[in-house]
Structures are given as structure tokens and as C-alpha cells.
Amino acid sequence: MTDLDSLEVLLARRIYRLSYYEFFKDAFAQLHPGNPYDDNWHIEYLCGQLQEEFERMMIRREPRKQDILINMPFRAAKSLIVTVIFPVWCWTLDATTKFITVSYAERVALKLSTLSRTLMFTPWFKRYFPDLVLKENRKEYYDNTKGGYRLSAGTGGGGTHEHERFLRRDFVHPFELCGHGCLHRGDAAFARGGSVGAFAWPDA
């Protein structure tokens, strides 16, 4: 690697760590190669809200004032922003962060968790964050060499006594199961540090 390449890597790492929004846009291209990125104001807004919550908890160490509830239509990149790319970005700042991500079905939780893991194995991610390495590497649970981990489960599973800092709840209720256009509400689970609840509703 030349001096110019090294400088580019250091600069990009700095930009990504300062802005989850910038990290998200480039991470999207890695997960969806060849697909055009269609930006919208809500993406930058949600990235900013999530970044502020992470910095409050893990950097400034301030107490929790409220949880985050996200109501969005389907196909608006909610899961990609909150469940897939956000935990990976958090690890670039503090690899000791612990996550539990929950969906209405285990297969959905594992699918989203696998996408996060896929991102970490891309040449792009390894170029800028080579020190972030996974140890135990399963769909439902993986951890890194710095002490952080991610546990993924469906709401049909049992509880957990892990000491998580973030609980990400993805209560997307399929239209064919719901049968009508109502909002499906999940249980009132919470985490010690904070929770992010993301709800979606079908088009009526």
C-alpha cells in the first residue's frame, strides 16, 4: 500500500466514524452491487438519530431518556438502516458493543444478521477496518475479538440473560398474516442501555 493509499484509508475511516450516514451509503453499495442508491431525506434523518443515540450511550455515557420508535412503510430501508448496517457501524467505533436483534420470525432475524456479517467480509470493509475480526461465527450468534457480540432471535423463542447494550426489535408483521391494514405491535421488551423499536405497516 502506497503512502497515498494509506492516507486515503485513514481519511475514509475518519469520515465513516464521524458520520453513520456516509458509512451507510457506501455500505449499501457493497450489499447491493449494481443497484442505484436512491437517497431520501428520511435516510439521513434516521442515520443521524441512531448516531446520536449511540454516542449518547457509548461515548458520552449519558443516561437513557427515551427509547426510539420508528414507524415506516414497507420497502423504505428501515431494516437495512437499523438492523443490518447500524450494528456494524457501531462496532467501528466501539467493538465491545453488545447487540440483541429480534424479529417476529427467526428466519427474518437470521437473514438480517447474515447480511450484517456479509458486509463485514466484503473487501471494502476489510480495507478500512481490518482490525475488526469475528471469532465465533454462526447465523444466530457471532462475536468479535474485542468483546462485542450479536445475538439474533425471533419472538417465538425464549428469553435471554445476556447483558446487551442495544436491543433492536423489528416487528414487521406480514400483510398476509395480519389480514388487514392494522399496525402490529410487539411486546414491551427493553434493554439496559436503550432499545430501538421499528414497526412497519402494509399499504391499505
pLDDT digits (tens, 9 = 90+) for 117-146: 999 999 999 999 999 999 888 888 999 999
Q: Is residue 188's pLDDT more than 70? A: no
Q: How confident is the model at residue 197 (pLDDT cuts 50, 70, 90)?
A: low
Domain residues for the domain of 127 are 3-34+41-201
Confidence of residue 166 (pLDDT cuts 50, 70, 90): low
Kindly state the average pLDDT of the residues 175-185: 28
Q: Are strands 194-201 and 166-172 parallel, antiparallel or unpaired?
A: parallel
- 111 vs 185, residue with greater confidence: 111
pLDDT-derived band at 2 (thresholds 50, 70, 90) equals confident
User: Residue 11's pLDDT band (boundaries 50, 70, 90)?
Assistant: very high
What pTM does this model have?
A: 0.78
Q: What is the pLDDT of residue 115?
A: 95
pLDDT in tens, 46-104: 999 999 988 988 888 888 777 778 888 888 889 999 999 999 999 999 999 999 888 87
Q: Are 125 and 156 in contact (CB under 8 A)?
A: no
Task: Answer yes or no: is pLDDT of 108 > 60.
Answer: yes
pLDDT of residue 104: 79
Choose between 192 and 156: higher pLDDT.
Answer: 156
Q: Which residue has the higher pLDDT, 203 or 100?
A: 100
| Cell 414507524 -> residue | 71
Query: Phi and psi at residue 51, in whole multiples of 5°?
Result: -65, -40
User: Could you tell me the sign of the dihedral formed by the alpha carbons of 27, 31, 33, 39, in that order?
Assistant: negative
Spatial distance between the Cα atoms of 41 and 57, rounded to a whole number of angstroms: 25
Q: Running DSSP on this structure, what letter comes out for residue 183?
A: P
Mean pLDDT of 24-32: 96
The pLDDT of residue 175: 27
Name the burial class of residue 66, with classes exposed (0-12), middle (13-18) and buried (19+) by CB atoms within 10 angstroms of its CB.
exposed
Beta 141-144 vs 134-137: how paired, if at all? antiparallel
Q: Cβ contacts of residue 29 below 8 Å, gap of 6+?
A: 37
C-alpha span between 26 and 21 (Å, rounded): 9
The C-alpha atoms of residue 52 and residue 186 are separated, in whole angstroms, by 25
Q: Please tell me the number of Cα atoms within 13 Å of 199 on its side-chain side.
A: 13
For the range 179-188, what are the long-range contacts, defined as Cβ-Cβ under 8 Å and sequence gap of 24 or more? 183/71, 184/104, 186/104, 186/155, 187/155
Domains: count for the chain: 1
